[in-house]
Amino acid sequence: MSAKADTIDEYLADVDPERRAELERIRALVKRIVPDVKETMSYAMPTFRYRGRPLVYLTASKKHMSFYPSSWAIEELSDRLAGYKTTQHAVQFTLKVPLPDELIEDLVLVHKRVIDAEVP
């Protein structure tokens, strides 16, 4: 990214078209799964907040893209993430090996469940 983006749209405008389309697909999916998410930027990453807390983040780098659903979601669904490189908080994917809609939905719903249990 050449400059610090203030919005998700500004961030995505600086991503190459193929990867932008993939991140837009995930963006739309997250908004469909949790319609009341709020879009923002946090830590220079597109961020979707739910009930005042970050629900998921997205990033694009030169060699891969990352989806940050929470360490709880990654741990709970680790068996389904075997084909992806993961860190404690992120799942890395590429255009050749994208994240399926069903997996994204399940990752989002795990973190949503945690937030719902913690936020009164």
Residue-wise pLDDT for 70-120, tens only, equals 999 999 999 999 999 999 999 999 999 999 999 999 999 999 999 999 977
pLDDT tens per residue across span 26-54: 999 999 999 999 999 999 999 999 999 99
Cβ pair 29, 36 in contact under 8 A? no
pTM for the predicted model, two decimal places: 0.92
Yes or no: say if 63 and 73 are a contact pair by the CB < 8 Å rule: no
Question: Please, which pLDDT band fits residue 62 given cuts at 50, 70 and 90?
Answer: confident
